[in-house]
Structure 1
């Protein structure tokens, strides 16, 4: 009798323990699945082939089944196994969703501000070693007023020093005066360094930096396309070290026109040396397109909008040196090369025909212009070829299934104002169709000359610039609009 009583107590105790364990597992499963489902619908994850609906239905079925089995005290071990399995599945999905959200948030965050390194420099052999030894310096206050004022104010706050600013017309004039001993020191905006290098290749070795301050500016880059399936993306390619938010010239300027309805993409290249009207910091004066980048990516974007009479919905600013490592993640890309050449970077030989490129070879392929018959025009075409090859690889099923690792590899080399919802919408549409985009490209042309056109940023420099052929610009503009209209 006592033995039977003890047996019943043990059975009840065991049953109660299983109930507690399964109840805890059910609670954990419910919390993790709920968060995963929220993120899935919030950011459009798995919104193709009804996978989001299937996952939601599966979670509901598992939840109801677990409750039923717990209440009826049936299949206790099976209930535990089911809950453990689907808790792991939900955990993995939540980890993948959260990782992608965090990485994309970082891409968007760097697009919300720009950084400009402002310095006070003196001749390399100067006895001056600290900014407190100065009473005045030269700076182009009209051309770069806001950044220069921020630097002077910071010196005032940091050193308690009131410096007199002698106005010059440009950073080039400030540098020439400094080298001619007409001044003790000058302000230097790092974004203009590459411009000075055009006229003075060894200028860095002639200067000594005695004070540096990074000016951070908030940028309003809200993107609101009129049609989520048809839009323009401005691709700005820079080749610089340091933060992706650092203001610098834009060496690659491509408008990517996307029509998800027709599955067509058009890449429009505008040569970096194009002589165009630059708004904002460019004071609506004419200069090389690449110089628009020193006033911020939004100025480059607006310059191209004005040139082609279009709206640009998003932008992606890419550091080509690190971005091209994406090619290795994709297992290389194949492009057709229509003229044999040897690249200065890497000394790679590229024969005529289809060539397979890794990241280093691709960098040599997109950088080279001196060995090409058409110079910068042909370089722009090669850049479009590599971008088109990357797009084709990215839109393959295998690449999209590795989306998290790909996005992870991009976070230090790209900034964009395209939100995650829009990115996932593109991925979902592509996964649903399973077909590749038809990618075509075009480039505007013109007549190049050296020293015949005046640069607003470098007014006394003899620079190579290209006067664009207006009929070429008009043709390119119509082609962009045709793609957008589904023609």
Structure 2
């Protein structure tokens, strides 16, 4: 008699609790996937193939997990793991979708018409929704970000608006009444309660009160930060505000760029195929990016999207050359054709800097990007700081630029303030401005490494917020998206090379100062080389950087932090204007070899918007209300 087969035991019916968990986990996972796909599609930077592959993968993953959750033969422990996996994947999808949404908001900042309302938020939500996302005629080419910052001295360790509750807050309503009110409203919306608001007459008294502990925090419209920097001297600490304080909060709004500051792009037809040149201008001020100020950084990025070649060309800030006003005669005025330091071109607007470099190198610049001190501080702090490596002999005990702690040999982790000081330092080095250019390039590379590090998963929202006020550009937002679409669609391997022009130190007449100033006479050979290298990239050839441009051991030495002079023999053939401000008739003479020579004191450039020339600096502290602007005399316009 055949044996009777044992009956298969039916799988146990899952408990009601497990069924509920399975449904909740499945719906959460599906919702996360849909949200991620919606935001990825809305961003409009991913290709159709990429979105299709992502969508198919997520759908397949969803089907497999849901099948496992509701399959009766799946063991209880396996279902529990699938529930946990569903919640984890759903959470990652929601986080990814939110990051993409933050990126889209960033694009809307550079691509939509923002109105300068003061509701305590960045623009009006309904207005942002009704305007086109890709408004090429607007964005950072027509709007400038205006920031109102709340600072608190580091000793109080107040780092968020709620910590200001019940404290005394200083303001200057007359500087930016609507912006100040909106900044206070934003502080209250973020948790500040029952604060005592004190009003002061000007920014100097405001900062004096902060340093004297009469208030624990101040609300400062950043467009007036540069005046603090200009007034800084041995008797006050106006130039060290960001060094001595924490940023508690920032309120942001947008205004139209003044006509004398506008600078139209010369765009290429297809930015993903046509080579182009971007001028990166770093202004030596804080706060509003579009304020006219000297340029500390003058760098060209020459990009060929087809060959994936990128060439960075740096010019010394004190390069001596004739100014060109082709881009904006309204801003440039009488400076056309005048010889001066390149750094002074910024006080006549970024268009003047652009056309001056174009004429000097005989090239065409398509786009400009402008950053300033606040830009670097905010972005570096947002990524959690950067690591830079200091070679032996290049240590600095204390930075001259803002008095912060210097750097030691080896790896140094720098916050925003120290990174700024490192990028600005030149007085400590024998090679002066040339070493500063190397430092700036190292800061840029370190910043790029930080942006691509895993810590960006945590810092990404802060970095986007910092970037939204970090730069201004006349590149249309559609082309910015095209570049990003090129990057994420093919992930090209870019070959990045750099070249820096150099020159000899001399003393020449500065048109902006109306007096002699220390300048850099750029070598003609370097100018010709830079032009050739730029043409190589534009024509699709690989640029061959000459060996002479590499750092030499002789240049890697640091001055004792006193007024020492580099006694090395100057190379020949610096570019000299014919008989312009040179008593030697255009023949180069190294001033360091002249025993009786004394370097002139650098004064502030004349504001191009006025015909008033300062006769002498004002010794009085602006915060006292005595003295202040100094004596001025009117001069005929023809004498400017």
Aligned position for 1:176: none
> Do the aligned partners of 1:261 and 1:486 also contact (CA within 8 Å) in 2?
no
Aligned position for 2:501: 443
Deviation digits for residues 58-94 of structure 1, max 9, x if unmatched?
Answer: 355579999999xxxxx9xx9x979988765553333
> Do the aligned partners of 1:25 and 1:84 also contact (CA within 8 Å) in 2?
yes
Q: What is the DSSP-based 3-state SS (H/G/I as helix, E as strand, rest coil) of the residue aligned with 2:310?
A: strand
Whole-angstrom CA distance in 2 between matches of 1:101 and 1:292: 35
Deviation digits for residues 345-400 of structure 1, max 9, x if unmatched?
Answer: 4464556x654341344333222222222333332232223223434x15756477
Whole-angstrom CA distance in 1 between matches of 2:424 and 2:504: 20
Q: What is the DSSP-based 3-state SS (H/G/I as helix, E as strand, rest coil) of the residue aligned with 1:312?
A: coil
Which residue among 81, 88, 104 is the counterpart of 1:101? 104
Aligned position for 2:324: 278
Aligned position for 1:112: 142
> Do the aligned partners of 2:257 and 2:290 also contact (CA within 8 Å) in 1?
no
Which residue among 280, 284, 289 is the counterpart of 1:244? 289
Aligned length: 382
Whole-angstrom CA distance in 2 between matches of 1:245 and 1:339: 34
Q: Cα distance, 1:470 vs. partner?
A: 3.0
Q: What is the DSSP-based 3-state SS (H/G/I as helix, E as strand, rest coil) of the residue aligned with 1:370?
A: coil
Which residue among 42, 45, 48 is the counterpart of 1:43? 45
Which residue among 424, 428, 443 is the counterpart of 2:484? 424
Whole-angstrom CA distance in 2 between matches of 1:246 and 1:480: 30
TM-score, length of structure 2 as denominator length? 0.47
Q: What is the DSSP-based 3-state SS (H/G/I as helix, E as strand, rest coil) of the residue aligned with 1:92?
A: helix
Aligned position for 1:228: 272
Q: Cα distance, 1:99 vs. partner?
A: 0.1
Whole-angstrom CA distance in 2 between matches of 1:409 and 1:21: 34
Q: What is the DSSP-based 3-state SS (H/G/I as helix, E as strand, rest coil) of the residue aligned with 1:224?
A: coil
Whole-angstrom CA distance in 1 between matches of 2:393 and 2:372: 26
Whole-angstrom CA distance in 2 between matches of 1:466 and 1:370: 15
Whole-angstrom CA distance in 2 between matches of 1:190 and 1:339: 35
> Do the aligned partners of 1:251 and 1:272 also contact (CA within 8 Å) in 2?
yes
Aligned position for 1:370: 427
> Do the aligned partners of 1:234 and 1:255 also contact (CA within 8 Å) in 2?
yes
Whole-angstrom CA distance in 1 between matches of 2:421 and 2:432: 14
Aligned position for 2:536: 482
Q: Cα distance, 1:253 vs. partner?
A: 0.9
> Do the aligned partners of 2:45 and 2:484 also contact (CA within 8 Å) in 1?
yes
Whole-angstrom CA distance in 2 between matches of 1:242 and 1:113: 15
TM-score, length of structure 1 as denominator length? 0.60
Q: Cα distance, 1:22 vs. partner?
A: 12
Whole-angstrom CA distance in 1 between matches of 2:304 and 2:105: 28
> Do the aligned partners of 2:380 and 2:419 also contact (CA within 8 Å) in 1?
no
> Do the aligned partners of 1:113 and 1:245 also contact (CA within 8 Å) in 2?
no
Aligned-pair Cα RMSD in Å: 5.2
Q: Cα distance, 1:471 vs. partner?
A: 2.9
Aligned position for 1:164: none
Structure 1: 5+ residue runs without aligned partners?
Answer: 1-16, 70-74, 117-188, 206-213
Whole-angstrom CA distance in 2 between matches of 1:448 and 1:194: 30
Whole-angstrom CA distance in 1 between matches of 2:97 and 2:433: 46
Q: What is the DSSP-based 3-state SS (H/G/I as helix, E as strand, rest coil) of the residue aligned with 2:257?
A: strand
Which residue among 510, 513, 520 is the counterpart of 1:466? 520
**Where do residues 450-461 of structure 1 align in structure 2 (5 Å cutoff)?**
452-455=508-511, 457-458=512-513, 460-461=514-515
Whole-angstrom CA distance in 2 between matches of 1:395 and 1:215: 29
Whole-angstrom CA distance in 2 between matches of 1:258 and 1:95: 31
Structure 2: 5+ residue runs without aligned partners?
Answer: 1-19, 69-73, 112-138, 147-222, 239-253, 543-640
